[in-house]
Amino acid sequence: MEQSGPTYDSGSGGGAPVGVRIQHNRRLPDFLQSVNLKYVKLGYHYLISNLLTLCFIPLIIITSIQVSEMNIDDLRQLWIHLQFNLVSVVICSAILVFGLTVFIMTRPRPVYLVDYSCYKPPHNLKASYDKFMEHSKLTGDFDESSLEFQRNILERSGLGEETYFPEAMHAIPPKPSMAAAREEAEQVMYGALDNLFSNTNVNPKDIGILVVNCSLFNPTPSLSAMIVNKYRLRGNIRSYNLGGMGCSAGVIAVDLAKDLLQVNWNTYAVVVSTENITQNWYFGNKKSMLIPNCLFRVGCSAVLLSNKGKDRRRAKYRLVHIVRTHKGADDKAFRCVYQEQDDQGKTGVSLSKELMAIAGGALKTNITTLGPLVLPVSEQLLFFATLVIKKLFNRNVKPYIPDFKLAFDHFCIHAGGRAVIDELEKNLQLLPVHVEASRMTLHRFGNTSSSSIWYELAYIEAKGRMCRGHRVWQIAFGSGFKCNSAVWQALQNVKPSHHSPWEDCIDNYPVKLIS
């Protein structure tokens, strides 16, 4: 007669079902195989990365042996030979000195990130889920379907209960006036800048370059002029105000500041990245335009850059690369994030259903350019080999996805939404720890637009994970459609700055998110 229950092996020592033990043994070879493949890949990576060094070792040994075998007469003959070729030696030396001089004079000047600051709003501006929904209901502008839609988006967004709204949106009814929008801009920009100047002991009069980016709020005088007026900046300052460039404008602003630092000697540049919610809340019922209401929150960052050699000692990072990708030539990409009026004439930003697919295409183009600049030779060879095999032999071979974990120690993915982070984690084959900063920033502060990548960097620092030599990849997406990357290298074991936005809550993170 057959036994219906699981049989037990008395020799197992723990009374475990035989079926379970056999199933575990079946999985063991697969596990060992994956471990072996992992170490094979790491071994291949280190071998290729150090191939040049390994090739030079025999050459150095042979040269050392030859030199050690030379006697005094051989050395005397070598010196006489050089004397007879004095003209050649002088010419070669002059060419070498000239070449080194040209190289030093024409190479790009290093750009250092001295410090940065992220604005943290006061507690009274916090907006929980219930408060958000209650305010949305009391405005009377949303029907039941729109309210339910917003509730569903909130619950799946990855945002926590302690994100911030501007003061005008806490009023019932909301008061989205020009004066209130200016007040929000002043509050976040001045708050970030005050902290930055305090932490760095830099006199605002020493700032030679100012770049401000805010996509949706562009008053006259400009936001950059407001900062010049507030801090009484000098009259010959290079001042720029970037508008309408979306959530990736923070990287664009850094790129502009970098270019300006190449032609302006011995100066500081300040980059201020923010977004303004007060006048850009959508009070209609078009679903695609309601999503920004649920995701965007108050935030601002202020970054101090320098091209002064003396600042290298105290700087946190050195700028390594910036790669910008613009897909605006394609109509679908151009309109996937689009500010417009709905049928009732109410203004908002519409998000296309094809947004994630377009973002994926922009990311692919961006990393195709970035990859050769940052990836080790081992990964580039694998990618090239797969490409050749696909072209010549088998069109069905999947393209090799480079392992960017070999190029970067930390990732700051724009906290645009949970779907964006999930997609990049999957496509770049990242581990949960690599996207932790992005997820926790989204949870704690929401989508703060172009400043989100700086809140994420502050999270990594607050966790004590940033060590000297580490490389950071900041990647952001924005309307247009754009995908922009910035690569930084830590110049020291970076500690969090005073008044970091995570100062009073870092011990509570990471939190477990509901799937």
Catalytic residue among 326, 412, 434, 470: 326
Indicate if 326 belongs to the active site: yes
Phi and psi at 104, nearest 5°, equal: -65, -40
Candidates 417, 362, 322; CA nearest to 113 is 322
CA-to-CA separations, 111 to 100, 117, 236, 269, 458, in angstroms, rounded: 21, 18, 21, 10, 20
Question: In 214-342, which ranges are E strands?
Answer: 238-242, 268-274, 300-306, 317-326, 337-341
Cα 184 off chain centre by: 25
Indicate if 447 belongs to the active site: yes
Catalytic residue among 414, 434, 470, 483: 414
Catalytic residue among 195, 214, 241, 247: 247
Give me 9's structure tokens.
Answer: 């092996």
Query: 431: Cβ–Cβ under 8 A, 6 or more apart, which residues?
Result: 405
Catalytic residue among 410, 434, 470, 483: 410
Catalytic residue among 118, 307, 443, 483: 443
Token look-up 């850009």 returns 280
Token look-up 């290729």 returns 48
Indicate if 410 belongs to the active site: yes
Indicate if 470 belongs to the active site: no
Burial class, 56, CB count within 10 angstroms (exposed 0-12 / middle 13-18 / buried 19+):
exposed
Q: Which residue blocks in 108-231 are alpha helix, DSSP H? A: 129-139, 144-157, 178-200, 223-231
Candidates 359, 388, 370, 312; CA nearest to 479 is 359
Indicate if 92 belongs to the active site: no
For 321-361, give the DSSP string: EEEEEE-TTSHHHHHSEEEEE-TTS-EEEEE-TTHHHHHHH
Give me 497's structure tokens.
Answer: 């700055």
Token look-up 């030079």 returns 56
Catalytic residue among 447, 470, 483, 484: 447
Phi and psi at 122, nearest 5°, equal: -70, 160
> Hey, which residues are catalytic here?
247, 326, 410, 414, 443, 447
